[in-house]
Each structure stands twice: as C-alpha cells, then as structure tokens.
Structure 1
Amino acid sequence: MSEAGFPVGSEEVTAPLPAVPSSAEAPAPVPVPVTETAAPVEPAAPAAVTAPTAPAAGPSETVARSLLVPVPESRPAEPAVAAPVLPARPEAARPAVRAAAAPAPVEGGTPCPACSLANTPGRHFCRFCATPMAPERLSTAEGPYAGRRPGLARDRSRVLVRALIAAAVVVVVVGGVFGGPPAARAVQDHFATRVPVHPVAWVASHSAPGRDPKLAGDGYSNTWWGTGYAGDSAGQYLEARFAEPTDLLSLLITPGSAKNTTQADGQATPQTFDLVVKDAAGELHVSHHRINDGGTQRVDLRVRDALSVQLVLRTAWRADPRKQVAVAELEFFARSVS
C-alpha cells in the first residue's frame, strides 16, 4: 500500500476523458483507484489532450460576430491645450476699392447736351452726368412722369406777408409818434374790461303821462320812456347824468316798448339819432348813429371823463300818427378801474 492508501504494483488504469469543447477550459482529471503492485511506480504524465476540430460557423455565429464593435487597442493622443486668448473686437472686412471705369461707348446713341456722352435711345437723363436729354414739355393733363426733378418754385406769399407785417409795424410806430396819447388810449379802450355804470339822474325834453325818463334805466325791458308826440319826434332827447367823471366805452339800447317791437301794438322805435356827450372840461362830443328796428343793440362811445349823455332823436321806424317813439332801456358801460 502507498502512503495515500492505494495498492502498489497494480497497473494504472486511466478512464477516458470527455471531449473538451473549443474555446473552453478543460475540466480537471478525475482520479481513478489503482491496484497495489510490488514496487512503487512513478505516476505517468498525463496524456496530451487534443482538442477536437471546431465545427463550421453557422448563421448564428455570423450574426453574433457582426454585432461586435471593434475596440481600438490604443487611445489617440489628446491634442495639446493652447494658451488662453483674450477676446478682441472683430474687424469688419474692408470693401475693395475699385477705380471708376470709363462708361462703355454706345453706338448710334443720342449725345448728351452737357457732356456729349452717347446714351441709349429713350433715356430722359444722361447716364453719366444726369443732365436732361431733352427740354421738358409736359402737359398739365398728363402730369409729371416718374423720375422728373421738381422745378424750383418761388413762393411769393412769404415775401408779401413779411411786407405787410413790416408795414403794420411802421404804421403803429408812426401813429404812436404823431398820434400821441389819443392813439394809445384808443388801443387801451379796445382791450379794456367793461363794467356797467348807472346814472344818478334822468332828464327828457318831453314825456308821455306815466312814461318818465327814469323808466329807461330801471333795468326792465317791459317799461319804457315815450316822447308823448306822434310821428318821428325829431329833436326830442333823453339825457342821463353821472355822479362823477366816467370813462365811457359803449352803451346798449333797447328801442321800442319792449324787446319784441314787431308786434302790432308796439310803439315806434328810433332809427337815427345823435349822441351828445359832455365831459368834465365842458367839451361836447357829438356822434351820429343808426340802429335796426327792434332788439338790444350796442353803440360805441369811447369818451373820457364823461358827465352826461344825451340821445337826440332824428328819424324813427314805423312812425305813425297814433304811435310815439319809445326807448325801453339804456345801459352804459365804462372802463374798469382795477
């Protein structure tokens, strides 16, 4: 018996090994018990195992090989990183400079009247100097054509306006120099603020019973002053007096017996009359006026330091032997002292 417990001197029997598949590890050999012999025998080297020939590749192996991705054995070297560069302002490409070429000659063209360069027929302007090829002959019915240069229009209205403004300035200056204070006062009176002023006394040359002169200044248009005479009552007057000198600018007169003097029972109304204004110096300012038949109307006076105003009748509207001339209201307006 050997140290391992196997009999010595018997022949060593080796069992056949199974077939080893291709591309696989060979399994470890399986030990088989041997009989004991008279002398120890060294174990024989295992017999070389010959791998069987691999069978031919089938369709499945071809498909598997086509799915394989080739892996490079060595990775390519990484490029070297350049040093950082500061950003700069991009520079635009400069246009190429070309010299002006001479225009190509046109055979049989129309020469320009300015530069004598030949142009193709039908052009309105020279292709080199833009001078009109022919004088303009346009009808007002057709109007200007496309590309026509507008003519230089001389606007004389501006010159006229400037001349009128200069003349007005000269008139104002000359009027202020030669007219003196009256011209300045007239301008002031035109733009002055008007306020009503009330007379303190009323006087008339003659009055009808119950038609006193004060009724012409009571503020009611349905009460009136009557002359008491039939017809136009020429020469009769109505006078208003003020307590102190007043700068009169205008007055409002309501002729007749009411505002609506066109009714059949209305009295006659003043047509023409004179206004006699007496100032603080005792000077009389006489002006002639004409008004319409009916309705409140304005009459300008513009007298400084007036003390009294006298309305003297001359002619009348709708004068009749059965009617008298009537004045429903007289209102005076003066310059505001503020």
Structure 2
Amino acid sequence: PAAPPSSAPASSPSSSSDTAIRSLLVPVPDAEPVAPAGAPGSVLPGRPEAARPRVRQAAAPADPEYGVPCPSCGAPNAPRRHFCRSCAIPLKDSADRTAEGPFAGQRPRLHRDRTRWIARAVGIAVVAGLIVGGIFGGPPAARAVQDHFAKRVPVHPTKYSASHSAPKQPAKLAFDGYSNTWWGTGYAGDSAGQWLQADFGQPTDLLNLLITPGTSGRSAQAAEQARPMEFDLVVNDSAGKEHIMKRRINDGGAQKIDVRVRDAVSARLIVRSAYGAGKDRQVAIAEMEYFGRSAQ
C-alpha cells in the first residue's frame, strides 16, 4: 500500500498576518546581508566629497556710459544715476545739504550779528568826525555840530505880514497853531512873487521850519486850493545880513525844512511856483512853524 503523503507544516495564522502588516507599513526590498565592520572583504564607507564649484559664464560687458565723472574714481556716470556705478560714491554735491552740525571735537561757531557792530562803528565814526571837524574847522563847523545836537523848541513870531491876503484869510492864520485855517494870496494862478513874513521879538537861532501847504493837513481838503511848490526863504539876522535859501517841497502833508540861521529877526517866504494852480484857485498855506535852539 502506498505510503501516505507527507504533510507540510502549516504556518500559523499569526506569523502570516505580521508579515503582511510589515510589508504594508515599511516596504523594505530584499537586501544582501552586510558583513560586520572589520571583517575580511568588508568595505568602509567613503568620505562625502564637497560639491564642486559651478563655473559661471562671463557676463556681457555693460554698455559704456557718458556723463559727469565720479569725484572719487573718475568713472563716467549717466545723468540718471545717483551713485557711482564703479565705487558707489554719492554723485550729488555735499553742499546740497541744508544743515550740518559740528564735527566731533569741534566747538560750534557763535552766530554774531555783525551788522549791528558795523552800524555802531559807523555811528561812532560820524560823531567823532563831527567833533573833530568842530574843533579844527573853526567856529562855523563848531556851530554846525552844536545845531545838529541841539534841543529844538517852537519859536512864536510876534508880528505877521503878507504881500496880499484873500478876504477872511489873513496872514496870522498861518501862525495860529491850527492846520484847518489857512492864509491865501488872494490871486489866481501860481501867485509867483507873493510873500508871507514872520517877525520875531528878539534875535533867535532858527534851526527848522515846518510847513503845511494847502488849506488843511488832510490831503483831500488840502487840494481845494493851490499849494506852494518852489519858494525862496529869506532870513535876516540882527547884523542886517540876508540869508537866501531856495527850497522845493512835495505836494501835501507837513514837511520840515532846515534853516540854520543864528540871531534871526525875520523870515520871509516868497512863492515861485505852485501845485494845482488854476483860474479859480489861489495858493494857500495852512501852517508855518519855526523851531529854534533851546536855551537850556
């Protein structure tokens, strides 16, 4: 009788399931057995080699530029550049900076107003020149210096007269101290040759004359009549000497005129020409004020 076939050992269900699970989780290919280190015929792992540098191709040369040369290296730069294409130095001038503080260790400069010192020096030089001129220039120069620094006071005439006056416009109205009253020549036109005189009770040193032309100190009212433009101022002193001064004033407003006559006894204003002269207008003067040297 035939022998019964030999039966292969049946694998356990648990071992087959573990192998299937391992093949799903960590698929590992069949590897050859690795010999232990130091065994005959074994090969040690080599050192990792460093990556070789990549050889780059030379860049295409840049197109030549033409423009302002760099102040540092001299390379030309196009106008659009703000920094040098060669050395990267700023191309703008450092003077464009609006403000810059002192450097380290540098004392800040004091900002002094030199104009004030110059004005003071000029003033001192003028005063010194006047004093020296008064000393070495004789009595006339000394009197000029005294007149320049003298204190001025009003001089009131004791008598008034005129070559002719309009009705209700006598000469005294030009010396009454009010600018809304006036003296009129009484003649139409420029009244050339007409005069207005002031007499002083005693000799006085005249320095200035303040004249208000027209009928008022206000410009609108002053233009109602003609106003003196050019005139002669004739001043007589106590010695009988006549001082003639030709003057020209502006049209409108009180104006100061230098006189500078010692020991004056009378002053006469002679009209030569006028502003706004016409057939129905006469030359008018609202006020005349004389100023002399103070006795103190």
**TM-score band (shorter)?**
0.5 to 0.7
* Residue of structure 2 aligned with 1:325, choices 276, 283, 289: 283
Structure 1 stretches lacking a partner, 5+ long: 1-137
Deviations 1:45-104 (A, max 9, x none): xxxxxxxxxxxxxxxxxxxxxxxxxxxxxxxxxxxxxxxxxxxxxxxxxxxxxxxxxxxx
1:240 is aligned to: 198
1:78-227 counterparts in 2 under 5 A? 139-141=94-96, 146-147=103-104, 168=126, 171-172=129-130, 174-227=132-185
2-side partners of 1:248 and 1:196: how far apart?
10
| Counterpart residue identity of residue 211, structure 1 | Q
1-side partners of 2:159 and 2:121: how far apart?
53
CA contact (8 A) 2:131 2:145 kept: no
Return the structure number with greater helix share. 2
Over 3 Å counting, the alpha-carbon distance change for 1:191 and 1:166 in structure 2 is closer
Shift of residue 163 of structure 1?
A: 8.9
Matched, 1:314 2:267: no
> What's the % identity of the aligned pairs?
57
- Structure of higher RCO (CA pairs closer than 8 Å, 6+ residues apart): 2
Shift of residue 173 of structure 1?
A: 5.8
Over 3 Å counting, the alpha-carbon distance change for 1:334 and 1:173 in structure 2 is closer
2:253 is aligned to: 295
2-side partners of 1:300 and 1:264: how far apart?
23
2-side partners of 1:261 and 1:176: how far apart?
41
CA contact (8 A) 1:232 1:319 kept: yes
Describe the SS at the equivalent of 1:185. helix
Deviations 1:176-224 (A, max 9, x none): 3442222222222222222112111111112222222122112222221
2-side partners of 1:318 and 1:219: how far apart?
25
1-side partners of 2:265 and 2:253: how far apart?
27
CA contact (8 A) 1:246 1:306 kept: yes
| Counterpart residue identity of residue 296, structure 1 | A
CA contact (8 A) 1:262 1:294 kept: no
Describe the SS at the equivalent of 2:264. strand
2-side partners of 1:252 and 1:169: how far apart?
26
1:252 is aligned to: 210
1-side partners of 2:122 and 2:105: how far apart?
36
TM-score normalised to structure 2 length: 0.57
The alignment's C-alpha RMSD in Å is: 3.2
| Aligned positions, number | 198
| Counterpart residue identity of residue 277, structure 1 | V
1:5-84 counterparts in 2 under 5 A? none
Describe the SS at the equivalent of 1:312. strand
2-side partners of 1:191 and 1:170: how far apart?
13
- Higher-Rg structure is 1
1-side partners of 2:96 and 2:225: how far apart?
66
CA contact (8 A) 2:237 2:262 kept: yes
Shift of residue 148 of structure 1?
A: 7.8
Matched, 1:284 2:242: yes
Structure 2 stretches lacking a partner, 5+ long: 1-92
Describe the SS at the equivalent of 1:305. strand
